[in-house]
């Protein structure tokens, strides 16, 4: 099995090397950032890790050991960046608690591992007091909603419509109570980070009286970011911002590269109001449309690289790293969706030569696999089932393995009756060419080609790839198994 090396992983590694290394040195001397945390219910000499939210990542910043009384101290000479942070208790799964860092960064917290939300108290920071008041309100509200939903499920079995309507009204009342709580806080404390984070989560949905689905969609798209403070750097460091912009792109934008690229530019321009937010936004959008992900929207990644990386706007990485990522993306661009497939030369199990562009088929699935790869061992039989079903629609498979000992390869083919074209790299030179062109760093790897050998889909599961054929042929789609990380 090959190891994966994709644009996202490269960018992630260099990005955090360049942005959080300043915080790797622990200090307990009082400074502009100084928090003392007492945690009940932990063993002596326990370790706590201070982390922050950064898009989908949660980098570590500091570590601290507890004293005999269960106190941790985290301190730095200068203030930390605004945002939401959390303290993870080392060795304890799901034992962590959040807090905010904005204007007040010298304060104390006390909590208990039995129930962080219920037990946390704060001294010296009104915003974090308000935050935990809000969390306790949410916990109580969600508990009531959970109880109602259990009752709702029971009533559905009895077909008790009158009682179900009553439950629906009560659930709606709980949702309204949460919205009003948040709106009151936002109105009263508009300048606080907490208010801006709450505003970020507001749905801004169309009024109920809006007439048509199209009008609802248009309203929701136009008002989606109402209330978002694009000047607030704290939006870059919380678990919600990247989800909000991701949901906007997935829900309200046509899923083609041109429309998505324009929407990404719209978001980036909004985020340009704050450098921290700009940095996260460009990084997240590049990650989202990474060419290695199971989509055919890699043109968005190429647009991001052309618009922001090539033009020097991603200036925090350094020129050498930026140039390396651009060059890496240029290689990926060769096998982007909509490009003509490069020819692949192989020899079959009898030594007879074959080439990809010589396959006569309406649809050709180019597969890179290895009989020793555990994912391949699971997916090749699944692909065999799909092949047998769709072959009558002009579907062929061109399956390629790297140069290796032939016995295990031939054995797997025979045992699983893989009747398509099975080939192995013809020689080191031709194999190096297709490994480089198709970026074969992990297996299995799939490319679906049309009759002209243009790439029309890639990196889905076998059923997902074949569902693309079903869409084109007007056939019912099959349920897919969850994709596995290679």
**Least confidently predicted of 3-7, 243-247, 386-390, 420-424:** 3-7
Question: In this model, does residue 281 exceed pLDDT 60?
Answer: yes
User: What is residue 143's predicted lDDT score, i.e. its pLDDT?
Assistant: 95
User: What is residue 158's predicted lDDT score, i.e. its pLDDT?
Assistant: 85
Q: What percent of the chain has pLDDT over 70?
A: 91
Q: Are residues 367 and 468 in the same domain?
A: yes
**Least confidently predicted of 10-24, 202-216, 291-305:** 10-24
User: What is residue 235's predicted lDDT score, i.e. its pLDDT?
Assistant: 94
Q: Are residues 295 and 324 in the same domain?
A: yes
Q: 200-209: list long-range contacts, CB under 8 Å, 24+ apart.
A: 200/227, 200/228, 200/235, 200/238, 200/240, 200/241, 200/244, 201/240, 201/244, 202/226, 202/227
Q: Are residues 246 and 157 in the same domain?
A: no
Q: Is 58 exposed, middle or buried (0-12, 13-18, 19+ CB in 10 A)?
A: middle
78 lies in some domain? yes
Domain hosting residue 188, numbered range: 129-195
Q: For strand 345-347 and strand 106-112, is the pairing parallel, antiparallel, or unpaired?
A: unpaired
Q: Using 50, 70 and 90 to split pLDDT, how confident is the model at 86? A: very high
Question: In this model, does residue 24 exceed pLDDT 50?
Answer: no
Q: Using 50, 70 and 90 to split pLDDT, how confident is the model at 8? A: low
Residue that wins the pLDDT comparison between 295 and 251: 251
Average pLDDT of the chain? 87
Q: Is 207 exposed, middle or buried (0-12, 13-18, 19+ CB in 10 A)?
A: exposed
Q: Using 50, 70 and 90 to split pLDDT, how confident is the model at 187? A: very high
- Residues 94-114: pLDDT tens digits? 689 999 999 999 999 999 988
Q: Are residues 251 and 134 in the same domain?
A: no
Q: Are residues 183 and 155 in the same domain?
A: yes
- Residues 228-241: pLDDT tens digits? 999 999 999 999 99
Q: Using 50, 70 and 90 to split pLDDT, how confident is the model at 427? A: confident
Q: Are residues 178 and 235 in the same domain?
A: no
Residue that wins the pLDDT comparison between 383 and 45: 383
Number of residues that make up the chain: 486
The helix, strand and coil proportions of the chain, stated in percent and rounded to the nearest 5, come to 45, 20, 35
206 lies in some domain? no
Residue 222 CB contacts under 8 Å (≥ 6 apart), including other chains: none
Q: What percent of the chain has pLDDT over 90?
A: 61
59 lies in some domain? yes
**How many domains does the structure of the chain reveal?**
4
Q: Are residues 267 and 381 in the same domain?
A: no
User: What is residue 291's predicted lDDT score, i.e. its pLDDT?
Assistant: 52
- Residues 142-179: pLDDT tens digits? 999 999 999 999 988 888 888 899 999 999 999 999 99
To the nearest 10°, report the CA torsion of 37, 43, 45, 47: -60
What average pLDDT does range 356-361 have in this prediction? 95
What average pLDDT does range 407-412 have in this prediction? 93
Choosing from 122, 149, 177, the residue where a domain stops is 122
**DSSP character at residue 59:** -
4 lies in some domain? no
Q: Are residues 117 and 133 in the same domain?
A: no
What average pLDDT does range 185-212 have in this prediction? 89
Q: Are residues 321 and 236 in the same domain?
A: yes
- Residues 443-469: pLDDT tens digits? 899 999 999 999 998 888 899 999 999
Q: Are residues 461 and 353 in the same domain?
A: yes
1 lies in some domain? no
pTM summary value: 0.78
374 lies in some domain? yes
Q: Are residues 255 and 355 in the same domain?
A: no
| Helix or strand run (H / E) with residue 34 | strand 33-40
Q: Are residues 274 and 295 in the same domain?
A: yes
Give the CA radius of gyration of the chain. 27
Question: In this model, does residue 88 exceed pLDDT 70?
Answer: yes
Strand partners, 400: 368, 423
Residue 457 CB contacts under 8 Å (≥ 6 apart), including other chains: 296, 337, 446, 447, 448, 465, 468
- Residues 289-346: pLDDT tens digits? 875 555 678 889 889 999 999 998 998 888 888 888 888 888 878 878 888 999 999 9
Q: 422-427: list long-range contacts, CB under 8 Å, 24+ apart.
A: 422/348, 422/349, 423/344, 423/346, 423/347, 423/348, 423/354, 423/398, 423/399, 424/346, 424/347, 424/348, 424/400, 425/346, 425/400, 425/401, 426/345, 426/346, 426/347, 426/353, 427/403
């Amino acid at each position: 099995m090959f190891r994966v090396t994709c644009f996202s992983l490269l960018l992630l590694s260099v990005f955090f090397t360049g942005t959080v290394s300043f915080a790797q040195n622990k200090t307990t001397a009082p400074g502009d950032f100084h928090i003392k945390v007492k945690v009940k219910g932990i063993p002596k000499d326990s370790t706590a890790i201070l982390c922050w939210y950064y898009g989908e990542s949660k980098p570590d910043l500091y570590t601290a050991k507890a004293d005999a009384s269960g106190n941790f101290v985290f301190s730095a000479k200068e203030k930390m960046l605004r945002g939401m942070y959390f303290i993870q208790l080392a060795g304890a799964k799901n034992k962590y608690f959040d807090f905010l860092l904005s204007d007040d960064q010298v304060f104390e917290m006390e909590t208990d591992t039995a129930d962080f939300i219920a037990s946390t108290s704060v001294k010296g920071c009104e915003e974090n007091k308000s935050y935990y008041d809000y969390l306790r309100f949410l916990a109580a509200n969600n508990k009531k909603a959970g109880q109602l939903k259990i009752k709702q499920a029971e009533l559905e079995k009895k077909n008790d419509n009158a009682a179900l309507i009553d439950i629906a009204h009560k659930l709606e009342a709980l949702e309204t109570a949460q919205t009003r709580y948040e709106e009151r806080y936002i109105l009263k404390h508009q300048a606080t980070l907490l208010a801006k984070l709450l505003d970020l989560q507001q749905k801004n949905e169309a009024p109920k009286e809006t007439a048509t689905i199209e009008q609802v969609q248009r309203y929701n798209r136009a008002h989606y970011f109402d209330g978002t403070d694009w000047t607030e750097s704290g939006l870059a460091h919380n678990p919600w911002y990247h989800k909000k912009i991701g949901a906007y792109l997935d829900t309200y934008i046509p899923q083609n590269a041109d429309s998505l690229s324009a929407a990404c530019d719209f978001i980036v321009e909004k985020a340009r109001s704050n450098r921290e937010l700009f940095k996260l936004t460009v990084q997240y959008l590049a990650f989202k449309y990474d060419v290695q992900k199971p989509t055919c929207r890699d043109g968005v990644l190429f647009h991001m690289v052309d618009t922001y990386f090539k033009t020097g706007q991603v200036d925090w990485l350094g020129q050498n790293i930026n140039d390396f990522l651009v060059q890496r993306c240029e290689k990926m661009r060769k096998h982007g969706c909509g490009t003509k497939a490069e020819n692949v030369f192989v020899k079959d199990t009898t030594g007879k030569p074959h080439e990809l562009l010589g396959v006569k088929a309406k649809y050709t699935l180019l597969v890179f696999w290895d009989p020793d790869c555990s994912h391949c061992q699971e997916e090749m039989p699944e692909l065999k089932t799909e092949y047998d079903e769709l072959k009558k629609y002009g579907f062929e498979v061109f399956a390629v393995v790297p140069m290796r000992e032939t016995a295990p390869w031939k054995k797997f083919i025979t045992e699983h009756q893989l009747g398509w074209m099975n080939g192995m790299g013809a020689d080191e030179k031709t194999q190096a060419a297709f490994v480089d062109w198709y970026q074969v760093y992990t297996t299995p790897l799939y490319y679906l080609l049309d009759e002209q050998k243009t790439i029309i889909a890639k990196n889905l599961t076998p059923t997902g790839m074949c569902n693309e054929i079903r869409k084109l042929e007007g056939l019912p789609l099959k349920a897919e198994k969850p994709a596995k990380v290679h």
